[in-house]
Amino acid sequence: MSRILLSCGLLYFSTITSAYGQNEFKELRFQAEEDEKKSTYFLTGTIRDQDSGEPISGVSVHIDGFFTGVNSDNRGQYILRLDSGKHRIVFRKFGKAADYYIIEMYGNGVLDVLMSGVDFELDIFTVMAEERDRNVRSAITGLTKMNIAEIKLVPALMGEPDVFNVLQAMPGVTSVGEGSAGLNIRGGQADQNLIMMNEAVVLSNNHALGFLSSFNGDVLQNFSLYKGAVPSYFGGRSAAALNIEMRKGDFEDWKYGLSFGSAVSKFMVEGPLIPEKTSMIAGIRRSNLNWKLNSVDQFDVSNSSLRFHDIYLGLSHKFSEKHTLDLNVLNTGDFFQFSNQFGFEWNNFVTSLTSKNLLSDSFSLVGLLAYGSFNNGFFEPAEVDPFRVDNGLYYLQGKISGLWTKDKLDLTFGAEGMQYQMRPETLSPVGENSGVFPEQVNKQRGLEFAPFVSAEWNPHENFAFTAGVRYSTYIQLGPDTVFTYQQGLPVSSLTRTGEEVFGSGEMLRYGGFEPRASFRWSIDEANSIKGGYSKMYQYLQTISNATGPTPIDLWQLSTTYILPQISHNFSLGYFRNFKEDEWSTSLEGFYRTTENQLEYRDFADLFINPGLETELIQGQGRAYGAEVMIQKNRGGITGWLAYTYSRSFIRTLSEFQEIQVNRGDWFPTNFDRPHIVSLVANFHLGRSKSLNMNINYSTGRPVTAPTTNYVVGGIFIPDFGDRNQFRIPDYFRIDLSYMTNGIVRTWDDKFNFSIYNLLGRRNAYSVFFQREGMSRRLRPYQVSILGAVFPSITYSVNFSK
């Protein structure tokens, strides 16, 4: 299947792209004297109207596909700080034709721009993503960037532009399956990924059981995924880092957006609270799904309920051109109940305050303060003994970082701290007639602190090197009670000998150095080789008895018995572009080892358990693979074809055979999916019209299944084989979407028609086995989360004042 999709995608792209025009880029080069060369330079200029010669204010500047937040002032002037090397720069303003430049910055430069009016009768559709030769010349391997323009072109469930949906179409990224929260990146667990909003940590980031992320595309700007060499200024996880940047509000004009859909409705507003000084942006999103569930001709489904919401608020204030202050607030919430059998409920709150200060031409300082709160629970509204289990945590984050630039060297340094307070896990009866007795298990407190330093050295145009180190320290704080166990025997409830009570203060300490390094060697302008290494510590992880991550997973800090995870990540890749960066290709290999990776003992009991260590066992993780990416960047058809070969294994380490999993041998993890193929194609049909396709194929994930069964005393007892010995059927899905203009010519309105799972394939999420009648044979049954065609329509309108 992977070979067929690869061949079809290449044939399709190569035969029809020649029919479409491309934008013309004006090329400029600024060169400094040999003794004045630096790693960063300034580009300045004035933007004027081509006909009148008057200065134009409010022109947005896009660098390498991302809007930098820089607008021309009321005199039409702008100033940019750019890294040494080649950049694609686009000047845009509504009612004006965009102006495109390819600029080689090897010295300070002045670029004055003349913009002309645009004829709206012409069919124009231009999408600028990240800088197209970034994959060749970036010094960091395994870095993926994308802006909201590209995100919107990938079809998704409910017609919503979604970060996580796009990520799963990129090489090296997948999930356990539909209806599963979290991402598995290069064979890693979902909790091994650091997810951030403007560098503030976000612990809960999913809606609708994992079908959508909690980041509204209307207020999102771009994302950066570090899946190879993670910079030293990001830490706390052992696999990857994802930073999602949110948009700033407009400083000049008020703008509004409304969206009504069969699944989701949204409202967005942005504008200047104080013109040119203070701006705001707010977005609200709410689900409209219950009418679809209620229309299903099946009692359990029609009697179910699913709803979610997210609210985002961003405030930005400019004290001056060199000093800014940003406030970001995100609140999300979900509720799901399946008939009268079970339900989940969770909510998340994150707020951050960021101060950015340019203290001199070569030194800047950024400070961050953030607070996060996450609460989740599950319940069973059964007729007999209904109950509810709740847990959660809150945390404080502080970070300060400085950037110093000097000639060919950029130096980043600072420190970051996180304080965690786990909320008690509680069991509560639901209703007066429930026979469930209330229980409570107190959880831990912890403090994580890490200074860091990172340097990027560019001694030559063809070579760049990035190196850094982070020293992380974790301290478990009291008060807490720690159970003791009999030495020479496995840790279990049967070998418990007593308990040790700790008061306030330090209980234990873990930590160590985390070196990071990455290099780029450019063979020529179109070819480069990159490699990297990262060592990372992880002190916070999730505990779950489900196959994949769920919203009700327990967050667990490191303790006396649960050691921190330590990973070693290696990557090496070859990158080549063709036809002046119209085509981008890459081949990357990776290898990672993880110490103290968590696994669960057989028949683990995880909830309302004060001795959680008796249900867990730690071991070694190992993941390796290769990724191929072929991307079409310009023209009437854009998109990419991605193939990933990825393996992920674990083995438990213990001297006691009775608690070993699979006798201590290596076995596949729950998210081991060797072959993954994604094809994304965007057909640009004219101004604001596009047809978009997304094809996904992957190997089925591992499961544990019975191999035989016995009859003892008239009772059938299944005998399970080795853990994750078998696999569910392979996964295959096709999505389509069509974006077009709306119905009012004078409005900026659009329609989005999307079809998720076009073929109506009943992809398996899991399998279970059940005996039919008095037969001794166990028959397998397949569980599908969304085994039908899911169409949706969305109408959106944007207007300004």
For residue 327, name the pLDDT band (cuts at 50, 70, 90).
very high
Checking if the pLDDT of 179 tops 70, the result is no
507's tokens: 């209980």
Q: How confident is the model at residue 236 (pLDDT cuts 50, 70, 90)?
A: very high
The DSSP 8-state label assigned to residue 777 in this structure reads P
- Going by C-alpha positions, the residue among 93, 52, 97, 47 that lies closest to residue 252 is 93
Among residues of the chain, what percentage have pLDDT more than 90?
45
Q: Which residue has better confidence, 762 or 315?
A: 315
Closest CA to 150 of 573, 741, 791, 694: 694
Residue 33: C-alpha distances to residues 38, 253, 464, 571 (Å): 10, 42, 20, 36
Where residue 311 falls among pLDDT bands split at 50, 70, 90? very high
Whether the per-residue pLDDT at 536 is higher than 50: the answer is: yes
Alpha-carbon gap, residue 315 to 246, rounded angstroms:
11
Highest averaged pLDDT of the listed ranges 47-51, 304-308, 595-599, 718-722? 595-599
SS3 sequence of 580-623: CCCEEEEEEEEEEEEEEEEEECCCCCCCCCCCHHHHEEEEEEEE
- Residues 432-480 have pLDDT tens digits of 888 889 999 999 999 999 999 999 888 888 898 999 999 999 999 999 9
Most confident of 210-214, 645-649, 683-687, 735-739: 645-649
CB 618 within 8 A of CB 652: yes
Confidence bin at 17 (pLDDT 50/70/90): very low
pLDDT in tens, 643-659: 999 999 999 988 888 88
Q: Are the C-beta atoms of residues 720 and 139 closer than 8 Å to each other?
A: no
- Specify the pLDDT at position 122: 34
How confident is the model at residue 601, as a pLDDT?
Answer: 85
The band of 799, judged by pLDDT with boundaries at 50, 70 and 90, is: confident
Query: H-helix or E-strand containing 679?
Result: strand 675-686
Q: What is the pLDDT of residue 3?
A: 42
Range with lowest mean pLDDT among 32-41, 151-160, 195-204: 32-41
Distance CA 283, CA 621 (A): 40
Residue 579 pLDDT greater than 90, yes or no: no
- Convert the pLDDT of each residue in 497-507 to its tens digit: 999 999 999 99
Calculate the average pLDDT of the chain.
Answer: 85
Grouping H, G, I as helix, E, B as strand and the rest as coil, residue 158 is helix
pLDDT digits (tens, 9 = 90+) for 101-113: 988 888 888 899 9
Give pLDDT, residue 119. Answer: 42
Band (134; pLDDT cuts 50, 70, 90): low
